[in-house]
Structure 1
Amino acid sequence: MTDTVVLSDLKTKHRAMWASGDYPAVAAEVVHDLGDDLVDACAVHPGQRVLDVAAGTGNAAIAAAARGADVVATDLTPELLDAGRRVAAERDVDLVWQQADAEELPFADASFDVVLSTIGVMFAPHHQEAADELVRVTRPGGTIGLASWTPGGFIGQMFATMKPFAPAPPPGAQPPPLWGDETHVRSLLGDRVTDVRAELRTLPVTLFADGEAFRAYFASRYGPTIAVRRSLEGDPDRLAELDAALRDLGDRSLDADGAMRWEYLLLVATRI
């Protein structure tokens, strides 16, 4: 199922950014385990109605459906949903795929037992609007589960590295890694949730032999990195400076075992 969604200029650019490169490869090769981790933390079980917001290719959605839940996976970018459909078909897992804006979900109040997002809703530009939607569509007593990169972790550092080279963000847009700050997320959800459980975890990443391997991979596959590099195409010196900074970040982040440790916040709460 794919609904037509009318997008603002900002959301159209956002959708195009995530359709660029090859995020399905990143989802499959780098961050796949985060979906299982979040589904486990939310204790998803058969018969529950589950919504995955900003699902991308559905790492969490497919994991939830494999556990017997009735799942809807949504994302702003239909190209990612198409890739997710193919993965689900290969695994013989049934779920619904629907294009939707995380800041304006097309579902009635209290429609789902579990609402989750794995490094997805954090990229919606207006944090409070997105958080309000997460809460709105969760039934009282239901579960909200989020996995988000932290500001101080590797991906947070990558965004901080790219920031001086990137165009100014649109008015009102907030930095994605703020969703990895427990205080920020508690403020967004407010007194509408209880039993908040938050834990900092790390994702071991062993795909990259050195900083250059990381830089090249993200420069060709990861939408936000591609967008910043494209903005510098008319300034080769600045582009080279950015590439050097990303290369250095990758080299500094490899430990003695040849692994990176990407920190994320896993937060689970109960809707009041």
Structure 2
Amino acid sequence: MTDTRALDTRALATGAIDTEADRALKAKHRAMWALGDYPTLAAEIIADLGLALVRASAMRPGDRVLDVAAGAGNAAIPAALAGSRVVASDLTPELLEHGQRQAAARGAELEWHVADAEALPYADGEFDTVVSCVGVMFAPHHQVAADELVRVCRPGGTIALLSWTPSGFIGQMFATMKPFAPAPPPGAQPPPLWGTEDHVRTLLGDRVTDTTATREHLTVDHFGQPEEFRDYFKARYGPTIAVYRAIADDPEKVAALDRDLADLARRHDRGTTTTSMQWEYLLFTARKNP
């Protein structure tokens, strides 16, 4: 196990990451994901994604599985219930604590570790399957995180990733919030890039084989009106809450972001009596070279 001070020593050795800046950034990320109520959002809106990732990874009972940036266990808990020996790791302890309660209520047994996706505290080749469900995509240094995914997977093991696409609804939500958000720190890359097949192939490189990449859609019809989507995310989703806090002293910007987020949901609405949206994601699987 590790904490928010954990750093990838390989990246540090090459000077790719500034130690103090990285510690500050990880502390900021940890605090952001503790805002609001992401576990409830994950359970009410995107619960099906975890099971989709478990199925795509073709993990078997008894397999040693690592869920990276697991949050409250959206993929880790279904994997454990399917019989795998699961470790759920995440930077934010508050999410893991909620996940532990969910797992206990559902009768799932697994380990929960506070860990940085860019400095996983596990041995080389320790896991049969390494997965991440809209999680590792939020690690700021994509290549460092990808290197860790490959490192801890055994030769011949499976890496399975589910990420929001740039052109899909959540990718467009981040694009909508970007003009209102503080500038990202140097070197940090946009999360939705993980939803681009070419980007993921480049990150994993020739260290993997038997790759598959499919674009899928999650139907979201939880909200009666576009404004309900906006207010739900304003109250529960850490990245959205953080952007609103950054502009809290500017009522005009708050009103503009309110309008833009509702308009985004309205443009994606395919429903009649309720707001029904299709949220696109990339499901990517690969096998680590033997």
- TM-score, structure 2 length as denominator? 0.92
Structure 2 residue 42 is matched with structure 1 residue 6: no
| Alpha-carbon distance between aligned partners in 2 of 1:174 and 1:240, rounded to the nearest angstrom | 28
- Which residue of 2 is the match for residue 131 of structure 1? 146
Separation (CA, whole Å) in 2 of partners of 1:180 and 1:18:
20
Q: Could you tell me whether the CA contact under 8 Å between 1:73 and 1:95 is conserved in 2?
A: yes
The aligned residue for residue 62 of structure 2 is 47
- SS of the residue 1:59 aligns to: coil
1:62 counterpart residue number:
77
SS at match of 1:73: strand
- Give the 5 Å matches for 1:221-232: 221-232=236-247
Match of 2:285 in 1: 268
In 1, the alpha carbon distance for the partners of 2:271 and 2:245 equals 33
Paired residue for 1:89? 104
The answer on whether the counterparts of 1:210 and 1:254 sit within 8 Å (CA) in structure 2 is no
Counterpart in the other structure of 1:147: 162
Give the length in aligned residue pairs: 271
Whether the 8 Å CA contact 2:2–2:121 is kept in 1: the answer is: no
Which amino acid is 1:206 matched to? D
Deviation at 1:5, TM superposition (A): 4.2
Instruction: Tell me which moved more, 20-29 or 2-11.
Output: 2-11
CA contact (8 A) 1:54 1:74 kept: yes
Q: Could you tell me which residue of structure 2 aligns to residue 207 of structure 1? A: 222
Shift of 1:116: 0.2
Spell out the pairing of 1:155-234 with structure 2 (5 A cutoff). 155-234=170-249
Aligned mates of 2:4, 2:134 — CA distance in 1: 22
Are residues 217 and 147 of structure 1, via their aligned partners in 2, closer, same or farther at CA, if it must alter by over 3 Å?
same
Q: Distance in 2 between matches of 1:132 and 1:28?
A: 29
CA RMSD, 1 decimal: 0.9
Q: 1:3 Cα deviation (Å)?
A: 4.7
Which amino acid in 2 is paired with 1:19? A
What is the rounded CA distance, in whole Å, between the counterparts of 2:257 and 2:4 in structure 1? 35
Unaligned runs of at least 5 residues, structure 1: none
TM-score, with length taken from structure 1: 0.98
Q: 1:236 aligns with which of 245, 251, 264?
A: 251
Return the letter of the residue paired with 1:265.
L
- Tell whether the 8 Å contact from 2:219 to 2:279 is kept in structure 1 after alignment: yes
| Uncovered stretches (5+) of structure 2, i.e. residues with no partner | 7-22
| Residue number in structure 2 paired with 1:110 | 125
Shift of 1:44: 1.3
